[in-house]
Structure 1
Amino acid sequence: MTVTRHHVGQRMSQIVVHNDTVYLAGQVGEAGASVTKQTEDILARIDTLLAEVGSNKAKILQAVIWLDDMAHFAEMNAVWDAWVPEGAAPARACGEARLATPEYQVEIIITAAV
């Protein structure tokens, strides 16, 4: 059983791969930016991290999205819906939570296949 970690820090790894499954740490965008900009930043980062391990957004199995306020649901979804490949929408949950700092409004956690 091989576990491979990328961008390893003291607290977390940005990517963990185990048995052809990719786990990404929670991704956040530019602190203080709009929900749209933060979501765009996060999705671009997800694209980059998945590509690094030979995966892509069409292979996402599950997404967990945290918003600091559910009032941002439609704004975040406008960006998300344009990004997700047609016919490849993952299982997804979206909820409201207090994030690491008040400047973060969106955090997305991804599990994908390699």
Structure 2
Amino acid sequence: MIHRHGTTKRYSDSTRFNGTIHLVEVPSIEHGDIVEQTRNLLTLVEERLNEAGSDRRHLLMVQVYLTDMADIDGFNSVWDNWVPQGCAPARACIQVVALARPGWKVEVVVTAAQLEI
């Protein structure tokens, strides 16, 4: 069975199927530098993972979309402290021309394993 959390007509905050969780997150703010937006974004990712039955120790794959690859060091400075040691997922960083809102600098696509019950 597919489980959906935070479902609207357009999207769900997360979906879970056969123990695998999928979610996409953007910052809730459009101001600030990449460090501020990344901190905000990763807080939201952790909340969504918890709602869906997982946590950051169970990340499988993360795709990072940046509007400016010059922001990668700022992103990594927050990311490296957020990911638990020994739990780094497979990861890709992709530069995009724009995101859905002009102020957003980063967006992530996350795949995680559900916590063991």
Give the TM-score band, short-chain normalised. over 0.9
1:60 alignment partner in structure 2: 59
**SS of aligned partner of 2:62:** strand
Moved over 6 A (4+): none
Could you tell me which runs of 5 or more consecutive residues in structure 1 were left unpaired when the two chains were aligned.
none
| Alpha-carbon offset, residue 32 of structure 1 | 1.8
Corresponding residue of 1:70: 69
Kept in 1, the 8 Å contact 2:60–2:111? The answer is: yes
Structure 1 or 2: more strand by fraction: 1
Q: Does 1:109 align with 2:104?
A: no
* Shift in Å, 1:37: 0.9
Distance in 1 of aligned mates of 2:105 and 2:46: 20
Report the AA paired with residue 107 of structure 1: E
Aligned to 1:28: 26
Match of 1:99 in 2: 99
Cα distance in 2 for partners of 1:53, 1:107 equals 19
TM-score for the superposition, normalised by structure 2? 0.92
Q: 1:101 Cα deviation (Å)?
A: 2.0
Gaps of 5+ in 2: none
For residues 94 and 74 of structure 2, the distance between their equivalents in structure 1, rounded to whole angstroms, comes to 14
Q: Whole-Å Cα distance in 2 between the matches of residues 105 and 47 of structure 1? A: 19
Q: Distance in 2 between matches of 1:47 and 1:63?
A: 13
CA distance in structure 2 between the partners assigned to 1:28 and 1:13 by the alignment: 13
Q: CA RMSD in A?
A: 0.8
* Paired position in structure 1 for 2:80: 81
Amino acid at match of 1:87: G
